[in-house]
Chains A and B, each alone.
Chain A
């Protein structure tokens, strides 16, 4: 089945530093990847849509300069949280859409738990 990996699974960083999270589709090509944020006991909120070779499309209210997204290849998208602050602490999940499937099913990575101290 389709597998999406995320790295790192957990990261603790100090306030003011930047953190990069990688999302990879391991056995399929993903022209589109999505980045979500999930606060404890809440649902997933879409942050941005990442298309290979083009600029990401951000959802309303998401700061582009703070959450930098790069989708350099058909199997890799990265999310960089710049100048992180404690309020950025959250669970970040990526998903990848299998271009070969008509159902537009999204396969999710295992998530990255970010803690900013």
Chain B
């Protein structure tokens, strides 16, 4: 079974609007971390936001917020007030417990294209 699932291969969003990128995960660990990364066409991976499994509050970083629903095992990324520079691939990733060596498992990614 896929550990990280991103069901939206691609999305269009109008500039200045908000967009939600879906991510569901599967783990039996109690301690884990969820990450979102942005990959523009240049290829670099840019860290956006982190949510720990024990964090009670949803993480926020500027225009990025993470809608963490632990019981549903989902960690959706919300980008508010989209900008043209937000056009990129977005990857959800999970770090499982220490026994897994802090490895990151990535989802398949969602390509976002912001329209002017």
Task: Judge whether A111 and B102 touch: CB under 8 Å.
Answer: no
Within 8 Å of chain B (Cβ to Cβ): is A110? Answer: yes
Query: Which residues from B are CB-within-8-Å of A95?
Result: 45, 104
Which residues in window 89-105 of B have CB below 8 A to A? 91, 95, 101-105
Q: Are A107 and B102 in contact (CB under 8 A)?
A: no
Complex Cα distance A92/B108, Å? 17
Quick check: is A106 within 8 A (CB to CB) of the other chain?
yes
Interface bracket on A: 20 to 34
Q: Which of B45, B50, B91, B106 has the most CB of A within 10 A?
A: B45
Partner of A105, one of B42, B50, B101: B50
Q: Are B108 and A43 in contact (CB under 8 A)?
A: yes
Q: Decide if A44 is an interface residue (CB 8 Å cutoff).
A: yes
- List chain B residues, Cβ under 8 A from A57: 101
- Inter-chain CA distance A97–B109, complex, in Å, is 22
Contact between chains at B101 and A49 (CB < 8 Å) = yes
Is A75's CB within 8 Å of the partner chain B?
A: no
Q: Which of B104, B107, B108 contacts A106 (CB 8 A)?
A: B104
Rounded to whole angstroms, the CA-CA distance of A109 and B43 in the bound complex is 9
Please, which residues of chain B bring their CB within 8 A of the CB of A46? Answer: 103-105
Please indicate the chain A residues that have their CB under 8 angstroms from the CB of B109 in the complex: 42-43
Query: Using a CB–CB distance below 8 Å, which chain A residues touch chain B?
Result: 32, 34, 42-46, 49, 57, 91, 93, 95, 97, 103-111, 113
